[in-house]
Amino acid sequence: MFYYLLKYVLLGPLLRLLFRPRTEGLEHVPETGAAIVAGNHLSFSDHFLMPSVLKRRITFLAKQEYFTGPGLKGRLTAAFFRSAGQIPVDRSGKEAGQAAIREGLQVLSRGELLGIYPEGTRSHDGRLYKGKVGVAVMALKAGVPVVPCAMVGTFEIQPPGKVVPRIRRVTIRFGEPLDFSRFAGMENEKAVVRAVTDEIMYRILALSGQEYVDDYAASVKAAAPERQPPAPGPRGLRRALPRRRRD
């Protein structure tokens, strides 16, 4: 109930008034049925701006830190994110990734929209980073389409470390749904899920126009300051999807 109050009465109208988001390709988001909306992640504002332009409810997998802050502020923040349809995800370790997949599959099993940022974290420099394969595993297991999404301009209004966003117009683009049903039952094959993930990231890249880095964002963030960042390039994204095996 609070989700719809937030979306249609409180926060949603305010966001649309302030940021006047341009929407492109909104017709590509299915009106009914389960689907994954996979987007780039440039700003804390992404969590709220994208849902504000969608007609349907969307549930995001959000980092657990939003739900575990100390004191009254932490409890209020956690309550807000839960009410806004966010699911906490522990991002540490392999088992944590499996837990996130289970949570996402539950959302999809109810015929709902699931929002996910395949990069796994916000971009710290505005570039697009290598996607994690969880999005592909969920798409193949649930047999649902993936709608690529690009947030354009949100890094400029609220880069990492900026608490109050600048008031500027942003653009939200949705691409045509990607159908990976030909790979059904192959979610345990590493080559398949890597190729599917790369295809999703390439579609996001085409929508966003970002510079691409073929490395995980978390790894680059954790690298020592004196180390040079990885060379950007489309390596890995134009890889052809493997063909379905024939018995």
Q: Which two tokens stand for residue 95?
A: 């088992």
Nearest to 37 by CA among 131, 203, 179, 148: 148
Q: What is the pLDDT of residue 4?
A: 63
**Lookup result for tokens 């994208």:** 50
Q: What is the pLDDT of residue 5?
A: 65
Q: How many helices (H) and strands (E) does the chain have?
A: 9, 9
Is there a contact between 175 and 183 (Cβ–Cβ < 8 Å)? Answer: no
Tell me the backbone φ, ψ of residue 60, rounded to 5 degrees: -105, 150
Element (H, E) at 134: helix 134-142
Q: Where are the domains of the chain?
A: 20-222
Q: What is the pLDDT of residue 112?
A: 95
Q: Is 236 left (phi over 0), alpha (psi -120 to 50) or beta?
A: left
CA distance 60 to 58: 7
Tell me the backbone φ, ψ of residue 189, rounded to 5 degrees: -95, 115
20-222: CATH class: alpha beta
Averaged pLDDT, groups of 10, the chain, 247 residues long: 62 79 96 97 88 90 72 70 70 70 93 94 94 96 98 92 87 98 94 97 97 93 58 50 53
Q: How far is CA 148 from CA 24, 72, 174, 208, in A?
A: 12, 37, 6, 10
Is there a contact between 151 and 169 (Cβ–Cβ < 8 Å)? Answer: no
Q: What is the pLDDT of residue 135?
A: 96
Q: What is the pLDDT of residue 18?
A: 82
Is there a contact between 3 and 85 (Cβ–Cβ < 8 Å)? Answer: yes
The angle formed by the CA atoms of residues 27, 62 and 123, to the nearest 5 degrees, is 80
Reduced to 3 states (helix: H, G, I; strand: E, B; else coil), residue 96 is: helix
What residue type is assigned to position 212 of the chain? Y
Within 8 A by CB and 6+ apart from 231, the residues are none
> Cβ-count burial of 181 within 10 angstroms (0-12 exposed, 13-18 middle, 19+ buried)?
exposed
